[in-house]
Structure 1
Amino acid sequence: MEIHSSDMGLVARVAHLGKHYGEGPQRVTALDDVSIGIRRGKFTAIMGPSGSGKSTLMHVMAGLDSPSEGRVWLGDDEITNLGDAALTKLRRRRIGFVFQSFNLVPTLDVMGNLRLPFELDGRRPNAEEQHRIGSLVETLGLANRLKHRPHELSGGQQQRVAIARALATQPDVIFADEPTGALDSRTGREVLGLLRSATRTAGQTIAMVTHDPIAASHADRILFLADGRIVSDREAMTAEQISETMLNLESVAVAGSGAAA
């Protein structure tokens, strides 16, 4: 009998995941036999040196990219071999996204952007969802910005809209890709606080790719990748501890490339 993700307390997982690009001598391995799960209701940070495979891992888990080998589940549903149409519907209904570049629609005002996931699903928010949107607007301080378009907002305000949009559908998991990368440090801390609050007060599951030790220090768990493999799986750490771990990974990577040369 196959063990289900829900039995393991996981909202998403991969088993023996491999991802390669190119063929022959030009073949590059981005992920190499990765087996890992994202815990339900927790804030997980995914870190590693440049080229370690952290963004590729997120993209495969989110159904944005397909694996070369291995299996992928969202909840108890295997998505490894789903077609584009089925993956699009799944992402729209069960996954939230927060990106460094905000990815707001420039021609829509704030409320239009918040309602966009429902519009794309061919429906309007029901009463419960409208209440949730209203609560998010108040909590994130957007009440007096609802008629503004993205270019009329600061970077921090745009990212708040993106977070509210991701939370509005109450997705199984939110994948955040360098969500503070385009923000100043103070605004970045506010945004991280909002994501952290979403896990603690609403039980939201968040998986965040970041290179920033301060950002990762907000997480409950930190996965470190190097050369396409999970090399460390740690509980919450301070920014200093994360920095030290990252420096060690970089040193190993440099030593390895020197030996290969």
Structure 2
Amino acid sequence: MTTPANPVVARVDGLGKAFGTGGNTVTALDAVTLGIRRGQFTAIMGPSGSGKSTLMHIMAGLDSPTSGRVWLGDTEITRLSDTDLTLLRRRRVGFVFQAFNLVPTLDIAGNIVLPFELDGRRPSADEQAWIDGLIDSLGLRERLRHRPHQLSGGQQQRVAIARALAPRPDLVFADEPTGNLDSRTGREVLALLATAARGYGQSIAMVTHDPVAASYADRILFLADGRLVEDRTRSSAEEISSFMLAMERAA
């Protein structure tokens, strides 16, 4: 469980992002300041165009801000070179996508250890023990020699979660991770993400439009027109829906 003593693993200060120039400028983020603590499962919500995906991309080093500063741990990533950003993402950031993004030519075992292969090394004994624990806890032991197309959507997303957690990253970003799943399987995946945060101390930031998905998070950030308008602790799906509806009426 997250406590105030848990260290901040990622933060942004005065973050701004604009697209276009002159009269065609669109402000995607406007002076956003926030931090994410270790072991915290954070949902990022907001209407389409609110800036939630832009925020995730900048915090993950996939895009650069127009203004403000970004840190991952003690590393300010705002002015890192492309090469350094690539290394940082590979070693310290995990990703879980709506479309799974598994490599079809690799078996499940190969997909899970892909971050290590990309880093040019094999898992250490300690890392392999961690990976073996993930494989067992995610129910993938009997599927390791299968290819992604031989698995259900829920099983593929479990593989994606195992791959994201395998290197023990500072932060895992999940972009609509249940978008391609039926509701029952989606709930199972959300429970796994919550367990990763509360049981393994993993920090997770999930972009979602789904109040049910957000209700699994420890914390919910609401964006509107590029600004952080609400920062609340765990809430029910009904409470989240009501707040979202009020936001839309006020827009």
Contact preservation (8 Å) 2:6, 2:38: no
Specify which of 87, 108, 111 is matched with residue 109 of structure 2: 111
Q: Aligned-pair distance for 1:8?
A: 7.9
Kindly provide the amino acid, as one letter, of the partner of residue 160 in structure 1: R
Structure 1 counterpart of 2:134, which letter? L
The answer on 1:71 being equivalent to 2:69 is: yes
User: Residue 93 of structure 1 corresponds to which residue in structure 2?
Assistant: 91
In the alignment, is the contact (CA less than 8 A) between 2:106 and 2:147 conserved in 1? yes
Q: Out of 217, 224, 227, which is 1:219 matched to?
A: 217
Q: How many residues align?
A: 248
Q: Secondary structure at the match of 1:137?
A: helix
Q: 2:119 maps to what in 1? A: 121
What is aligned with 1:15?
Answer: 13
| 2:14–2:32 Cα contact (<8 Å) kept | yes
| 2:247 corresponds to which of 224, 239, 249 | 249
Fraction of identical pairs, as percent? 71
Q: 1:131 to 1:224 in 2, by over 3 A?
A: same
Secondary structure of the corresponding residue to residue 244 of structure 2: helix
Structure 2 letter corresponding to 1:201: G
Residue 102 of structure 1 aligns to a residue in which SS?
coil
5+ residue gaps in structure 1? 1-5, 254-261
Q: Partners in 2 of 1:68 and 1:57 — Cα distance?
A: 12
Q: Name the amino acid aligned to 1:162.
A: A
Shift of 1:66: 0.3
- Structure 1 consecutive aligned stretches of length 4 or more whose deviation exceeds 4 Å: none
3-state SS in 2 of match to 1:64? coil
Of 112, 128, 131, which aligns to 1:130? 128
Task: Give the drift of 1:44.
Answer: 0.5
Structure-2 residue corresponding to 1:182: 180
Shift of 1:7: 8.6
TM-score by length of 1: 0.93
Alignment equivalent of 1:38, drawn from 15, 36, 39: 36
Pairing partner for 1:200 from 189, 192, 198? 198
Q: Which residue of 2 aligns with 1:209?
A: 207
Q: CA deviation at 1:132?
A: 1.1
Aligned to 1:143: 141
- The C-alpha deviation readout for 1:30-67, integer Å capped at 9, x for no partner, is 00111111122110100001110001001000101000
What is the identity, as a one-letter code, of the residue corresponding to 2:135?
V
Which amino acid letter does the alignment assign opposite residue 195 of structure 1?
Answer: L
Task: Return the letter of the residue paired with 1:97.
Answer: F
TM-score, normalised to structure 2's length? 0.97
What is the Cα deviation at residue 167 of structure 1? 0.7
Alignment RMSD:
1.2
